[in-house]
Amino acid sequence: MVHVTSEIGRLRKVLVHEPGPEVDRMVPPMMEELLFDDILFGDRARDEHRRFRRLLQLLGIEVVEANALLAESLADDAARAWLWARLRPEAPQELRAGEPPESAEKAVAIAVTGLLAGDRCRGIEVEDLFRLPPLPNWCFQRDPQVILGDGVIFSAMATTARWREGLLTRCIFRFHAELAGTPVVLDPLREAREAGQFFGPHRPRLEGGDILVLSPEVVAIGVSERTNMVAVELLAEAFAKRDNSPRWMEIVHLPTRRAYMHLDTVFTIVDRDAALVFQPVICGDGPQLADTYEIDLGSSDLVPRHRGHLLETLGKRGLDLQPISCGDDDPLAQQREQWTDGANALALAPGAIVLYDRNIATADTLARSGFRVLPAEDVLLGREEVRLDGEERVCLLIDSYEMSRARGGPHCLTHPLEREDI
């Protein structure tokens, strides 16, 4: 079962993936395409991720490991055959002619960790080192799919380096015993193939970090370096054909900068009446302000109409959100902390959020906005108690020395499978 109708409803079940051997196999030539800022120290990254997961569990949230779902799905011979048929174009020649792996565990290891070139390695480039490259970005479970209502939207990943993640997600939702019955709201790749829009600028690009489920009536979509209007139009058409879909689609055209790779890097909701924002893009008065267009999904034409900036538009749709500035009012701190995911908070419940601890100015701003700010370590060690069913605003700061180098915060690292309705 999946169910998500907001960004802040009490989180009950969440999808994650601990950075595994695929991170340990990263080499510098992979960094640019993967948008990592450094080669991660895998053991430290895993320690930070485990502390994050344990925090969620202590707060009563069920944590689901993506590799475990994948292994359970691939226990079926038909699932391994399905996945292998779709991996063959990317696989080395000797694997294309072979049969799928005999075990689910081996299939997961190959699909996620990749295959080394071994004795045949004759250089330092990625193609020299790997027969099949690893998937270091698989830890960012926000992107390969989106749960909206009781259905799933599959992504169309923007870069070749992340293409395989979309296949793994489709495999899980096709073959896993608990998820196979989930209605598919949109598979943009299938739609594009049928419409002949599969290549070049006509290929849809859609990633989960650009889709925010703001309420049962409102969904926001970022048009960014990773998501294009081809995919947005397909999604609008899919919503218009379905019952129980949102009524309003807010399309936020982000400036083309690496720092703003997804909408959730500049805007996340933290309470019923508040959002964490990167001010220059979301509510500033300078050239970086993002334009917002709106589609009435109940209309017959589905034409985007210009509405100004995002917060103003959301206010007209019943979402009156007070902006809390990432980096406070200091323009230098704003840029520095947006870069380290200071606007990328995960809401565990209304007014209860998780943020990276390195974003000090953002934490100070949250404190002045009524949040009790405390290290997650205090909860893990029993020094502080947090209840998600209370009225208190609280921000839990998690360790981020290593994970922040991968260019994704707590919102990016998680995908809610079940949230309570607001």
Share of the chain above pLDDT 90, in %: 77
Structure tokens at 33: 């395409």
Type of residue numbered 312: E
* Of 197 and 316, more confident: 316
Tell me, letter by letter, the H, E, C secondary structure of 334-363. HHHHHHCCCCCCEEEECCEEEEECCCHHHH
At residue 323, does pLDDT exceed 60? yes
What's the pLDDT score for residue 190? 81
* Of 405 and 214, more confident: 214
Binned at pLDDT 50, 70 and 90, residue 97 comes out as: low
- Give, in order, the Cα–Cα distances in Å from 85 to each of 78, 102, 164: 11, 15, 12
Can you give the pTM of this predicted structure?
0.95
At residue 412, does pLDDT exceed 70? yes
* Of 182 and 286, more confident: 182
Mean predicted confidence (pLDDT) in 180-202: 77
**Three-state DSSP state, 267:** strand
Mean predicted confidence (pLDDT) in 140-167: 94
What's the pLDDT score for residue 257? 84
Tell me the domain boundaries of the chain. Answer: 11-65+135-419
DSSP state of 194: H
| Nearest CA among 387, 367, 405, 328 for reference residue 49 | 405
What's the pLDDT score for residue 29? 82
At residue 345, does pLDDT exceed 80? yes
What's the pLDDT score for residue 195? 58
What's the pLDDT score for residue 132? 87
What's the pLDDT score for residue 117? 81
Name residue, tokens 């960790």: 113
**Burial group, residue 183, by CB count within 10 angstroms (0-12, 13-18, 19+):** exposed
Task: Note whether 213 and 207 are within 8 A (CB).
Answer: no
* Of 31 and 361, more confident: 361
What's the pLDDT score for residue 336? 96
What's the pLDDT score for residue 194? 61
pLDDT digits (tens, 9 = 90+) for 363-381: 999 999 999 999 999 999 9
Which residues are known catalytic residues? 412
Distance, CA of 206 to CA of 210 (rounded, Å): 8
Type of residue numbered 150: D
Distance, CA of 127 to CA of 135 (rounded, Å): 14
* Of 286 and 129, more confident: 286
What's the pLDDT score for residue 198? 59
Give the long-range contacts of residues 31-35, CB within 8 A, separation 24 or more. 33/159, 33/160, 33/161, 34/136, 34/137, 34/161, 34/162, 35/137, 35/258, 35/261, 35/407
At residue 197, does pLDDT exceed 60? no
Distance, CA of 290 to CA of 91 (rounded, Å): 40
User: Domain 11-65+135-419 - what CATH class?
Assistant: alpha beta
